[in-house]
Amino acid sequence: MNFIDNPRKLRGFEKHVRVEKISRRSILKGLGVTGGFVLAAPVMSRQALAYETGAGKMPHGVVVDPRVFVSVAPDGIVTIIGHRSEMGTGVRTSLPLIVAEEMEADWSRVKVQQAHGDEVKFGNQDTDGSRSTRHYLIPMRQIGAAARTMLEQAAAKRWGVPATEVKAVNHEVVHSASGRKLGFGELAADAAKESVPAIEGLKLKDPKDFRYLTKGQVGIVDLHDITTGKARYGADVRLPGMKYAVIARPPVTGGTLVSFDPDAALKVPGVEKVMKVQGWPWPSKFQPLGGVAVIARNTGAAIKGRDALKLVWDDGANAKYDSVAYRKELEEASRKPGLVVRKEGDADAALKGADKVIVGEYYIPHLAHVSMEPPVAVADVKGDKAEIWAPVQSPGGTRDDVAKTLGIPEGNVTVNVTLLGGGFGRKSKCDFALEAALLSKELGAPVKVQWTREDDIHNGFLHTVSVERIEAGLDKSGKVIAWRHRSVAPSIASTFAAGTVHQAPFEIGMGLADMPFEIANISCENPEAAAHTRIGWFRSVSNIPRAFAVQSMVGEIAQATGRDQKDMLLELIGSPRIVKPAVKDLWNYGEPQDSYPIDTARLRKVVELVAEKGEWGRKVPKGHGLGIAVHRSFVSYIATIVEVAVDDKGKLTVPRVDTAIDCGTYVNPERIASQIEGAAIMGLSLAKYGEISFKDGKVQQKNFDDFQVVRIDESPVVTNVYIVPPGPDTPPSGVGEPGVPPFAPALINAIFAATGKRIRSLPIGKQLEA
Amino acid sequence: MIKVKINGQEQSWDGDPDLPLLWFLRDEAGLTGTKYGCGQALCGACTVIVDKEAVRACITSVKDVSGREVTTIEGLHPNGDHPVQKAWRQVNVPQCGFCQAGQIMQAAALLMDNPKPSHDQIREAMSGNICRCGCYQRIENAVHLASTGV
Ligand code: FES
Ligand code: FES
């Protein structure tokens, strides 16, 4: 059904993406310009039609300076800096496109140049948290408008006319009264001498004049290079005299090397050296685990050499980590009261007095990112200077950490950001770059450290493992009057600080304490859980287990009361309102609640939109079922309907997925669709197969054979994406991550509809075969 | 000394004959378009065409291709305008792009063998190529587009 009737019409997204005309008001209308021309400060002050974001609170804040981001060459080529990391979201295209739009540059004459890691110069570069468009839409527009103004001023001076009489149009400035024109290239030298205009006076384009923004007809800048093998990822960097290294790391987190025998490794053809790599005691943030490196003339030889090493490890304090036993611990903890992180009314009393209590205990194991490009980095350290080439999501942080690890000034470290072959949060941690830096320093030569897939799975920063226990109390009429959610999971904070047993505020704010349902008695609790491996951010983070539990519970309540899932969901969301949970310092993804409130009208709208477009309630064949789920994360609202088919042998297929997203004001609907399509695949992967388990402290999986991900033959036949047009003053919100959380619960609810089987433990594995 | 033709050019290798072709291509010949994703023939990122067949370069040794003709993504078409490459761009397939060289080589091999594959045949032939970003819907559409004329 996703075949193309007229291939000539196909542009990929047109067929499956529609921006729904719910409102006729033009998108982006009247985003005002306010605020100061700022360095490292919030971009916008709250004035008419403007909004404030959390951008200013990020390390090094925002830099709005056209001289930093834009240059125009005499031949007219406009170079725009992309300062965020490209890992597949399209950000290297969309942020420069915003600048080009606003400065009236012709996109075909724009070159994008990747910024190196320098947050003082470029502002915050941490490409995570689905923040890029959210934090940079307005700053990039301001940068483009400032550049345009400088070009216009230069032309006006040249002609001796008031600047108000000239206008930049498609790569030239025109004076329509006299019919004179000057190209951007001809004005470049003069424009560079103009002073940078104050942000307050800048005039932003009227959105009705947009050529690129919101249109989605511009392909990503790397499209041609990607399809011809020229795109350069971290793994593709080659330097003269470069050595190739792979590292044997401790198999248990916190383990240390006792001894090693390099002899057999050194006999492997191509192997040049075997050396120890410095490790840091666990937990130590992103510092290397240490181990033994095999240095060779190519990666193949290094891998073969490593296989031949004889290694003795001391497994350390986590040698007994066992996922079966740990799950029992989490389950037991979830059955007892824990730290209360949100309390409204009296959930204990209401549960006691309830006519019916429905209990769901949900389990979601550790997950590995398995970005298609495993971690890899090249370093060239000479004396007290270091240059790094790496696919990192945090070039600024990497620079910082390399400087600290080598004991050299930050100014002596250059971090070149390559394309990332996937990131998903793994490449927010720069341990692999630090390893390369340490080895290069010792070798006195440039070196590439390549992680194998096995390394990636064995020594990563895993998604947490959690038990989510929800008790819902219903009165006689079937109305939910009490809600107790206990979330037990080791925290990401455990990777930074020993002894961490509670979730950090940013984890509590991901689908636990910010739960939007209109229920009188709510208790959200976080019993203790200690970590036994490195825990890290994984695309959409704690929203995965929380949305799975909360939205599965909605399905369970509907099931117990004989209601339609969607009706039940809307009833629980309740009236259109702004939810203000009784939570001290609600995280809210780092955004002010004024600009980014928890708005149930928007939550309802995506449910209603997906129900309408996804034909909720349609008749499906025998063995098929429909499931629905909605979740707000990264301040976006997303609802998904999944249709499943389960045959009599328990084989699961997904004929159709429909997703509605409200991400506020947006830039590139085509890339939004691709993110949502991808999120459905990642959601299906984690639901069907996703499990990293431990025994004797060691990860039991090793590669794509036992840590499986969804392949094309089992992927949804079609994923339709519907984008809610924003109101005139709706701030942009996240896209990269929020598609993932609602998928698994929608799938599980659909499986129940198809089979009557309620799955509470992920992955599904063989549960449908029984 | 092993001799092999890569993208029309004669190359020789006198190192370890068991060296996987993948690392020969990437590290010794400097052809980095072919990617490493698993090393175990599980993901397809390293797919190249040997004579007329798609093979996984990570489990194929240099000596296995001695005297044969290897085509990598760099050599698929002089201007990058093979119908599969054009279709890939038209459909905006890639996200991160890391798997795409392997996907494109696999698709090109499929179309050599079966110029008009069905929905199921596309899905079967492409099922050895993982895309962690999840571009599958577009991959399928692009293969179909390439087979019907870009
Ligand atoms: S690298 Fe060869 S199939 Fe994965
Ligand atoms: S595009 Fe990223 S793995 Fe396929």
> Would you give the DSSP letter of residue A564?
-
Please return the burial class of A767, using the count of CB atoms within 10 Å of its CB with bins 0-12, 13-18 and 19+: middle
Burial of A240 (0-12, 13-18, 19+ CB in 10 A): exposed
Instruction: Output the CA–CA distances (angstroms, integers) from residue A132 to A57, A86, A209, A554, in the order listed.
Output: 14, 11, 23, 32
> What distance in Å separates the CA atoms of residue A326 and residue B109, rounded to the nearest whole number?
47
Instruction: Tell if the CB–CB gap between A301 and B92 is shorter than 8 Å.
Output: no
Residue A132 has pLDDT above 60, yes or no: yes
CB under 8 A, 24+ apart: contacts of B55-59: B56/B128, B57/B20, B57/B21, B57/B22, B57/B25, B58/B20, B58/B21, B58/B22, B59/B20
The two tokens of residue A590 are 């780092």
How far is it, in rounded angstroms, from Cα A18 to Cα A20?
6
- Measure B42 CA to ligand 1 centroid, in angstroms: 6
How do beta strands A180-183 and A172-175 pair? Answer: antiparallel
Strand order from edge to edge, sheet including A521-526: A339-344, A521-526, A480-488, A466-474, A356-364
DSSP sequence for A9-57: G--SSTTTEEE--S--SPTTTT----S---BSS-S--S-TT----GGGG
Contact yes or no for A372 and B28 at CB 8 A: no
Q: Is B58 in the pocket of ligand 1 (CB under 6 A)?
A: yes
Q: Which residues of B touch A678 (CB under 8 A)?
A: 95, 133-135
Provide DSSP, chain B: -EEEEETTEEEEE-S-TTSBHHHIIIIIS--TTS--S-SSSSS-TTEEEETTEEEETTSSBTGGGTTSEEE-GGGS-TTS--HHHHHHHHTT--SS-TTHHHHHHHHHHHHHH-SS--HHHHHHHTTT---TT--HHHHHHHHHHHHH--
pLDDT, tens only, A216-260 = 889 999 999 999 999 999 999 999 999 999 999 999 999 999 999
Residues 6 or more apart whose CB falls under 8 angstroms from that of A139 comprise A43, A55, A62, A63, A64, A123
pLDDT above 90 (res A433)? yes
- Which of chain B's residues have a Cβ under 8 Å away from the Cβ of A713? 123-124, 126-127
Neighbours of A561 (CB within 10 A): 16
Partner A contacted by B28 (CB < 8 A)? yes
Q: In terms of Cα–Cα distance, which of A734, A703, A683, A752 is closest to A374?
A: A703
A680 contacts in chain B (CB < 8 Å): 134
pLDDT at residue A666 tops 80 = yes
Q: Provide the strand spans (E) within A64-210.
A: 70-72, 78-82, 110-114, 166-169, 172-175, 180-183
**Which among B40, B95, B139 is the nearest to A88, CB-wise?**
B95
* Atom of ligand 1 lying closest to residue B43 CA: 4
pLDDT for position A217: 86
Between chains, do A228 and B26 touch, taking CB under 8 Å as contact? no
**Closest chain A residue to the Cα of B77, Cα to Cα:** A228
Q: Which residues of B touch A683 (CB under 8 A)?
A: none
Backbone angles phi, psi at A684, to 5 degrees: -70, -40
Which chain B residue's Cα is nearest to A87? Answer: B96
DSSP A761: B
Strand order in B47-50's β-sheet?
B9-13, B2-6, B69-71, B47-50, B53-56
Q: What is the pLDDT of residue A8?
A: 28
- Model pLDDT, residue A584: 87
Alpha-carbon distance A375 to A587, whole Å?
A: 30
Interface test with A, best of B98, B104, B140 (most A CBs within 10 A): B98
Average pLDDT in chain A = 93
Mean pLDDT, to the nearest integer, of A291-301? 98
Q: Which comes out higher in pLDDT, residue A21 or A130? A: A130
Query: With 70 as the cut, is the pLDDT of residue A2 above it?
Result: no
Q: Is the model's pLDDT at A14 over the cut of 50? A: no
- From B129, which residue of chain A is nearest by alpha-carbon distance? A711
CA of A562 to the centre of ligand 1 (A): 49
Which amino acid residue places its CA nearest to atom 3 of ligand 1? B41
B114 CA to chain A: closest CA distance, Å? 18
Q: CB within 8 A of B38, min separation 6: which ones? A: A453, A703, A704, B45, B58
Q: What is the pLDDT of residues A39-53, one digit of tens each?
A: 223 333 333 347 899
Residues 6+ apart with CB under 8 A from A726: A27, A28, A662, A664, A665, A666, A732
Report the largest interatomic distance among the alpha carbons of chain B, rounded to a whole angstrom. Answer: 44
Contact assignment for B30 to A220 by CB distance below 8 Å: no
- Host H or E run for residue A487: strand A480-488
Residue A450's H or E segment, with its range, is: strand A447-450
Residues of B in contact with A419 (CB under 8 A): 96-97
- CB count within 10 Å of CB B11 equals 17
Contact B37 A422 (CB under 8 A): no
* B124-145 exposure pattern, b = at least 16 Cβ within 10 A, e = fewer: ebbbbbbbbbbbbbbbbbbbbb
Distances (CA, A) of A440 to A33, A398, A443, B30, B130: 48, 16, 5, 21, 33
Q: Does B88 touch chain A (CB under 8 A)?
A: yes
Phi, psi of A19 (to 5 degrees): -90, 115
Report CB contact under 8 Å: A704, B129. Answer: no
Identify whether the C-beta of residue A731 lies closer than 8 Å to the C-beta of residue A135.
no
Q: Using CA atoms, how far apart are residues A443 and A707, in angstroms rounded to an integer?
A: 35
| Residues A668 and A90: beta-carbon distance below 8 Å | yes
Ligand nearest, relative to CA of residue B100? 2
- Contact between B68 and B28 under an 8 Å Cβ cutoff? The reply is no
Beta-strand relationship, B2-6 and A70-72: unpaired
- Is the pLDDT at A6 greater than 60? The verdict is no
Per-residue pLDDT at A555 exceeds 90: yes
Q: Over pLDDT 70: what percentage of chain A?
A: 94
B36 backbone dihedrals φ, ψ, rounded to 5°:
-95, 125
Ligand nearest to the CA of B25: 1
Mean pLDDT of A179-198: 96
The tokens of A202 are what? 């800048």
Q: Which amino acid, residue A243?
A: K
Residue range A728-741: mean pLDDT, rounded: 94
Residue with tokens 């825990």: A535
Which parts of chain B register pLDDT below 50? none
CA distance A430 to A110: 31
Reduced to 3 states (helix: H, G, I; strand: E, B; else coil), residue A164 is helix
pLDDT of residue B150: 74
> Measured from the CB, is residue B39 less than 6 Å from ligand 1?
yes
Q: Please confirm whether the linkage preceding A288 is cis (ω < 30° from 0).
A: no
Give per-residue burial for A527-550: e unless 16+ CB within 10 Å, then b.
Answer: bebebbbbbbbbbbbbbbbbbbbb
Say yes or no for a CB contact (<8 Å) between A270 and B16: yes
Which residue has the CA at smallest separation from atom 4 of ligand 2? B131
Which residue in chain B has the smallest CA separation from A304? B19
Cα–Cα nearest to A451, from A466, A467, A429, A468? A429
Q: Which of A11, A224, A229 sits opposite B72 (nearest CB)?
A: A229
Substitution candidate for ligand 1 out of B46, B55, B73, B126 with most atoms within 8 A of CB: B46
The yes-or-no verdict on residue A292 having pLDDT over 70 is: yes
User: B46 CA distance to ligand 2 centroid (A)?
Assistant: 13
Nearest to A736 by CA among A539, A507, A454: A539
Instruction: Give pLDDT tens digits for A360-373.
Output: 999 999 999 999 99
Contact B23, B46 (CB under 8 A): no
**Any idea which ligand is nearest the CA of B136?**
2
Closest CA to A647 of A684, A621, A681: A621
Query: What element of type H or E holds A678?
Result: helix A669-688
Q: What is the pLDDT of residues A613-663, one digit of tens each?
A: 999 999 999 999 999 999 999 999 999 999 999 999 999 999 999 999 999
The secondary structure of chain A in percent helix, strand, coil, rounded to multiples of 5, reads 30, 25, 45
Kindly report the nearest CA distance between residue A733 and chain B, in angstroms.
Answer: 20
Give the pLDDT of residue A233: 98
pLDDT of residue A728: 76
Note the pLDDT of residue B112: 97
Using alpha carbons, list the distances in angstroms from residue B60 to A235, B108, B139.
Answer: 20, 19, 25
Confidence of residue A1 (pLDDT cuts 50, 70, 90): very low
Residue A44 CA, ligand 2 centroid: distance in Å: 36
Question: Which residues on adjacent β-strands are paired with residue A39?
Answer: A63
User: Which secondary-structure segment (H or E) carries A473?
Assistant: strand A466-474
Does pLDDT of A32 surpass 70?
Answer: no
Distance from CA of B14 to the nearest CA of A (A): 11
What residue type is A526 in one-letter code? N
Report DSSP letters for A176-201, one per residue.
TTTTEEEEHHHHHHHHHHSPPPPGGG
- Indicate which atom in ligand 2 lies nearest the CA of residue B134: 4
Query: At residue A10, does pLDDT exceed 80?
Result: no
Identify whether the C-beta of residue A13 lies closer than 8 Å to the C-beta of residue A20. Answer: no
pLDDT tens digit sequence for A465-511: 999 999 999 999 999 999 999 999 999 999 999 999 999 999 999 99
Shortest Cα distance, chain A CAs vs residue B91, angstroms: 4
Give the count of Cβ contacts less than 8 A between chain A and B: 225
Q: Rounded mean pLDDT of A71-83?
A: 97
Check whether A23 has a pLDDT greater than 80: no
* CA-CA-CA-CA dihedral for A360, A736, A699, A378, to nearest 10: -170
Q: Using a 6 Å CB cutoff, which residues line ligand 2?
A: A 88, 372, 422; B 94-100, 131-133, 135
CB contact under 8 A, B131 and A372: yes
Asked if A14 contacts A21 with a C-beta cutoff of 8 angstroms, the reply is no
| DSSP structural state of residue A725 | P
Please name every residue paired with A261 in a beta bridge, in sequence order, or none if there are none. Answer: A310
Q: CA A273, CA A296: separation in Å to the nearest integer?
A: 7
Instruction: Give B36's contacts in chain A (Cβ within 8 Å).
Output: 235, 299, 374, 450
| Residue type present at position A736 | G
Query: What per-residue confidence (pLDDT) applies to B80?
Result: 98
Q: How far away, in angstroms, is A194 Cα from ligand 2 center?
A: 43
Instruction: Please list every residue in chain A whose beta carbon sits closer than 8 Å to the beta carbon of residue B94.
Output: 88, 220, 222-223, 226-227
